[in-house]
Chain A
């Protein structure tokens, strides 16, 4: 005996009957069979579903009734529900009569590839703009704080400097040492061919102080602190804590965001100086090992080529990078919506746009310094 039978009533109505045991396990194939039975019916005809002889063990049959109604309506048929078995009737009664009168609307398909790409770019541009505006607003409130130093949470700032600066020292040391090492190693082979061994100090020294030190430190802090800020503030946002601060008359911008941005703006330049030193140490190690340059020769050359401006420009950049890293993290956090999923999205977005903004700012600095003749 098939679980789905169809027969034609004398008035031309097609009648489908579900029979026998039905449950979640068997409903899948049965559903396909039922939809197939509908496909040959000319539109406008009347069609009826009957489950009087079914023996459902759960709500699967009730689901099939809803599927029957939806699929028939989509095909332009006129469906109705006949006799129901007690289990299914109970489910549908509990759900209320409205459920049978309407069907779930058809899902609107997602954006096409081109439209999706366009939307992505526009979103990215808008968000970058918003982040910069946000950082601007925080900077303004920072000036305000500097004029009211008693209102600033210095203890909090000190704690944050320790958390995002001091605790990042080991990883910054390791990574920049390795970067210095790798840079020097790749260059050493080429330089030896020209007998230009000593220029390895120029390469590593200028490369680290101007670009790699600040960049490495900033990218690390984006992953370490920017993302942490986004997650912290985002979690506070979704559990109404930000609103609670606001209604107490405490401005979240001043209370949460400003100390974080301020702390990273302090910590990042120091970290970047530290990264310079470690990177140069890495370069010096390679110079000694593969080019037989003594440390004193290396350092002597370094003193000749690396000027105060090289170091200072790196520090200057770091201050701006720090503002961006912490700004993006906090901005994402403040804009978090939609539960735990939203916090995850904010955290990811803070890292992605953080790194994007750092690289963009770095490029702008290069152009700016070039046209100002600061080289």
Chain B
């Protein structure tokens, strides 16, 4: 395989995430039943759905934090549940995750958090790592807070800090769990713009879990909608298609912020 220099930015035909017949159970309760999806390089792919339908759970499977009860997940061609350590580490260096809470390490300052992945997997000299960390913090608008501990930051700042850490190694795919949740509309919009900006300038593939309509309409290029009762995907396409053309009232209602009219 050729080295890191060749990074196809626009090769939209390549599948970077492939979920096949994934089944998830907690005890005897099935949450997701045989769902399949594909994410192509360079796109912004959004996973929508009501609260508790299994979006976070799906994401945790894709990033390899849980092993599936059935089916398989491949990220950049590697099945994380079955891969060996070296192969898995390699994939992890090429992906980044922003958790719902930011998940900064509370024992370290913000810039140390951002420097951590650089330090652990690049072997670059320390002063250079510091500069890179500063760059990433500036990208999310946090350079002034570099020396703060996570406990000294607001919720939105922690989230942006988490994003700075997630993009520390310039990943090819970024995964987001509810990037806008708990943020004020303006900060949430800025985060969306950051996602769009990274996608356009660096060609980063984005997989975003969210249920915020504004954010969906702004960033989503393609989306799927999960449903708790169907235990799977009930709609797929661009937001506009789903809003206008979906045969299911439930899907149209979601986009119009309405209740489903019972018949």
Contacts and interface: CB of A to CB of B under 8 A. Distances in A.
Interface of A: 235-236, 239-241, 243-251, 255
Given A239-B101, A243-B65, A244-B97, A249 B92 contact: yes
Interface in B174-226: none
Interface of B: 60, 63-65, 85, 88-90, 92-93, 95-97, 99-101, 103-106, 116-117, 120-121, 162, 165
A216 to B, nearest CB: 30
Per DSSP, are chain A's interface residues mostly helix, strand or loop, or mixed?
Answer: helix
Given A240-B100, A247-B96, 13 more contacts: A236-B106, A239-B103, A241-B104, A244-B97, A244-B103, A244-B105, A246-B65, A248-B117, A248-B121, A249-B90, A249-B93, A249-B121, A250-B117
Contacts of B65: 243, 246-247
A241 B105 contact: yes
Nearest to A243: B65
B121 A240 contact: no
B17 to A, nearest CB: 14
A240 B101 contact: yes
A248 B120 contact: yes
A244 B117 CA distance: 10
15 contacts: A235-B106, A239-B101, A240-B101, A240-B103, A243-B60, A243-B65, A243-B99, A244-B97, A244-B99, A244-B103, A248-B116, A249-B120, A250-B116, A250-B120, A251-B85
Contacts of B165: 244, 248
Contacts, number: 55
A247 B106 contact: no
Contacts of B101: 239-240
Nearest to B91: A249
Contacts of A251: 85
Nearest to A151: B120
B135 to A, nearest CB: 18
B120 A239 contact: no
Contacts of B116: 248, 250
Contacts of B92: 246-249
A249 B80 CA distance: 12
Given A249-B92, A249-B93, A243 B103 contact: yes
A189 to B, nearest CB: 52
Nearest to B63: A247
User: Which of A239, A240, A249 has most B Cβ within 10 Å?
Assistant: A249
A46 B116 CA distance: 69
State the 10 A-B residue pairs at the shortest beta-carbon distance, nearest first. Answer: A249-B92, A240-B103, A244-B103, A247-B97, A249-B89, A248-B117, A240-B99, A250-B120, A249-B93, A241-B105
